[in-house]
Amino acid sequence: MAIDFTDKVAIVTGAGGGLGRAHALELARRGAKLVINDLGAAMDGSGGSSESADAVVAEIEAMGGTAIANGASVSDADGVAGLVAQTMDAFGRIDVLINNAGILRDKSFGKMDLADFRAVLDVHLMGSVMCTHAVWPIMKQQQYGRLLMTTSVTGLYGNFGQTNYGAAKAALYGFMHSLKMEGAKDNIRVNTLAPIAWTRMTAGLNPVPEDQAKEIAARIAPEKATPAAVFLVSEDAPTGIILSAGGGTVARAAMMESPGLYLGDDMTVEDVAANYEQIANMDGAVVLNHNGEQAQKNAELTAKATGG
């Protein structure tokens, strides 16, 4: 059965190009009404222009869809409030929010100005938090909402020179895991995408010759990550899931915990050191869905070891 978004209203931040544009176009093709948010800034967040958002709106209208543009910065509280008010004035509801806006200020940690660290957190993390907080009461009242965070492989696994970006992106899946529980009773589902895509943001990370760049850009074009994003904001989407997607591949990423080892109430530093290899062995590792499951796992491990 085709996944349909007819009568649904979606906000996509950072939708003037790259991944956001690809997500917005696919949602529009499937019937959604779109709000294209994009500050139109440089990669470091400086400047601003409405041209990119207006161009995506024109693309959607040319295909017979409905869209409006918004130029607010997601790191500005008044701008976010205006974005939500504009959406409600135009369409009367908000069903989907894709938090995609981002900036880069890469530098090795020892050379990084903390203002640049904070600026990246403000856009990626607090921008997602503020946009989500603004739509949350609307989705609760509707008893329907689909939220998508955008992490990255840097947030999941790290990358040299991107401590600020990695910290912001990792924080988003921590945000998701608690938010999924708070939204469950109101039919609000929260997921995270870890896209693998050649965009304006990623093109400069690993400079390659022009002919190779064109080949890579085609192989991992932004639209190849979009099916996973759109699935994660669909009516029958799961909740609390991270999907890594790009170039035709999709995988689930998850925080896992080893089986662990009970060392006793009186364990010492030396006990941990002596048993580290077994403690760190990931054979039989499990995905834990909330902190209660982790507590239960530890209780069972203790009971098994002590016969209690």
| Dist CA 188 CA 145 (whole Å) | 4
Task: Specify whether 262 is catalytic.
Answer: no
Give 1-39 as a DSSP string.
Answer: -----TT-EEEEETTTSHHHHHHHHHHHHTT-EEEEE--
Q: CA–CA distance from 35 to each of 12, 38, 164, 212 (Å)?
A: 6, 10, 28, 35
**What strands lie across the sheet with 242-246, from one edge to the other?**
66-70, 33-37, 9-13, 96-98, 145-150, 188-195, 242-246, 249-253
* Active-site residue, selected from the candidate residues 144, 165, 173, 262: 165
Q: CA–CA distance from 264 to each of 65, 207, 271, 298 (Å)?
A: 63, 52, 10, 12
Please give the DSSP secondary-structure letter assigned to residue 45: S
Q: Which residue has the tokens 């093709």?
A: 29
Instruction: Provide the residue count of the chain.
Output: 308
Dihedral, 155, 206, 18, 255 alpha carbons, nearest 10: -20
The two structure tokens encoding residue 114:
């903390």
Strand 256-257 with 286-287, pairing: antiparallel
Which residues are annotated as catalytic?
Answer: 165
